[in-house]
Amino acid sequence: MQDRFINCIAQLPKPLSDALIPLLHQDFAGHIDAQQLAVLVKASSLTEEELLLVLLPVAATLARPPISDFHVGAIAKGKSGDIYMGGNMELPGEALFHSVHAEQSAISHAWLSGETQIVDIVVNFSPCGHCRQFMNELVEGAQVRIHLPEQKTQPLTHYLPYAFGPSDLNVTAPLLSKQHHELSLDSSDPMIIEALDHASLSYAPYTSSFAAVVLQTKDGTTYCGRYAENAAFNPSMLPMQMALSTMARHNRLFSEITRAVLIESAQGKISLVGATRDALHAVAAVELEHIVLEPV
């Protein structure tokens, strides 16, 4: 079991901790599949909703908030039945808009894992307005069920009435719906190929600035992030922040980054290079490789 989970595991009922510990191996980064979840439900004698609330301290352990020291954990349950944990993240010394909220972390975790719909969000503190707007961008986002400790489960519409969303801007394929954008680059570099693949899956209906980031660490492991836009613009999640959040979930230090690649489409109305470079330089002494692709 990873050391970072020792304290929260000690607070769990023993039948649950005994069943959970084998899952918290060195590679655990917050994903529990539907079959594993069923085993935990049985072992704990809790309902699934009760179990997910009890697991929130585990999700909060994935957080990395050096500015606020306020650890938020969130769990996104996909239509597949799998659950995806996430924690909030802040970049030391950088503007607060670089921060990633726990709900964003969990949802991006699910998206990168291939989920096409989120049905439940479980979080240890009430979602802020930023996160409510981010969730509203999802496929059937208005119907996502929000679970909070000691609160009645409610759909997102309860927390975000009269919402402004993708349909108001004539977007019919919202976040987590299948995306595939024709981007092409002649390269044999595995990192660039990976970035290209993720850029083609990114979500940028408002600017067409399809983009992705791939980070490589000293041992050759790569961590990726895709651009995820939002109808309200400001809650959009940048690919660098998504990649760094992925690293944090995997318990990797940002100082381990040895290479960073941003790929973005030349047809976009904006460029992410400035914000991406600022975020990278806040955590690692690495120069950003910036590749701009002409549309096919």
d(CA 54, CA 124): 10
Residue 134 and residue 198 in one domain: no
Percentage of residues of the chain with pLDDT beyond 90: 96
pLDDT value at position 44? 97
Q: What pLDDT is attached to residue 273?
A: 98
Q: Is 89 annotated as a binding residue?
A: yes
Q: Cβ-count burial of 169 within 10 angstroms (0-12 exposed, 13-18 middle, 19+ buried)?
A: exposed
Q: Tell me: is residue 85 an annotated ligand-binding position.
A: no
One domain, residues 133 and 229:
no
Listed as own residue / partner, the contacts of 38-43 with beta carbons closer than 8 Å and 24 or more positions apart are: 40/16, 43/15, 43/16, 43/18, 43/19
Tokens (6 digits) for 6: 């020792």
For 143-159, what is each residue's pLDDT tens digit? 999 999 999 999 999 99
Q: What is the mean pLDDT of residues 257-285?
A: 97
Label residue 179 by pLDDT band (50, 70, 90): confident
Tokens 């996502």, residue located = 144
Regarding whether 149 and 50 lie in a shared domain, the answer is yes
Q: Do residues 231 and 285 both lie within one domain?
A: yes
pLDDT for residue 289:
98
209 is in which domain, residue-wise? 190-293
Q: Is residue 91 located within the same domain as residue 201?
A: no
Do 142 and 83 belong together in one domain? Answer: yes
Provide mean pLDDT across the span 264-283.
Answer: 97
The pLDDT, as a whole number, for residue 131 is: 98
Residue 179 lies in a domain: no
The pLDDT of residue 233 = 98
Q: Evaluate if residue 105 carries a pLDDT over 90.
A: yes
In a domain, 2, yes or no: no
- The pLDDT value given to residue 186: 87
Q: Are residues 105 and 196 in the same domain?
A: no
Question: What pLDDT is attached to residue 82?
Answer: 99
Res 58 pLDDT > 80: yes
Residue 22: inside a domain: no
- 8 labeled part of a ligand binding site: no
Return the active site residues: 103
Amino acid in position 199: A
Domain co-membership, 87 together with 219: no
Would 241 be classed as within a structural domain? yes
pLDDT for res 296: 65
Q: Is 1 annotated as a binding residue?
A: no
Whether residues 146 and 218 fall in one domain: no
Q: How far is CA 15 from the centre of its chain?
A: 30
In sequence order, the β-bridge partners of residue 264 are 211, 292
Q: Where are the alpha helices (DSSP H) in 25-117?
A: 34-44, 48-54, 56-60, 102-112
| Banded pLDDT at 53 (limits 50, 70, 90) | very high
Q: What is the CATH number of the domain that holds 86?
A: 3.40.140.10
Do 220 and 282 have their domain in common?
A: yes
Shared domain for 75 and 162, answered yes or no, is yes
For residue 209, being part of any structural domain is answered with: yes
Counted domains in the chain: 2
Alpha helices (H) in the chain, listed in sequence order = 6-10, 14-20, 34-44, 48-54, 56-60, 102-112, 129-136, 156-159, 190-199, 239-249, 273-283
Mean of pLDDT values over 34-52: 98
pLDDT in tens, 200-250: 999 999 999 999 999 999 999 999 999 999 999 999 999 999 999 999 999
Q: Is residue 1 part of a domain?
A: no
What is the predicted pLDDT for the residue at 180?
Answer: 86
pTM score, two decimals?
0.97
Find out whether 191 is annotated in a ligand binding site: no
How high does pLDDT run on average in the chain? 97
pLDDT value of residue 99? 97
* Region 37-59 average pLDDT: 98
Q: Which two tokens stand for residue 277?
A: 């470079």
Q: How confident is the model at residue 20 (pLDDT cuts 50, 70, 90)?
A: very high
pLDDT for 227 equals 98
pLDDT band of residue 184 (cuts 50, 70, 90) is: confident
101 is in an annotated binding site: yes
Do 67 and 121 sit in the same domain of this protein? Answer: yes
For the segment 267-284, the average pLDDT, to the nearest whole number, is 97
For residue 185, is it within any domain? no
Evaluate whether residue 9 is within a structural domain. Answer: no
pLDDT for residue 295:
66
Predicted local distance difference test score (pLDDT) of residue 294: 80
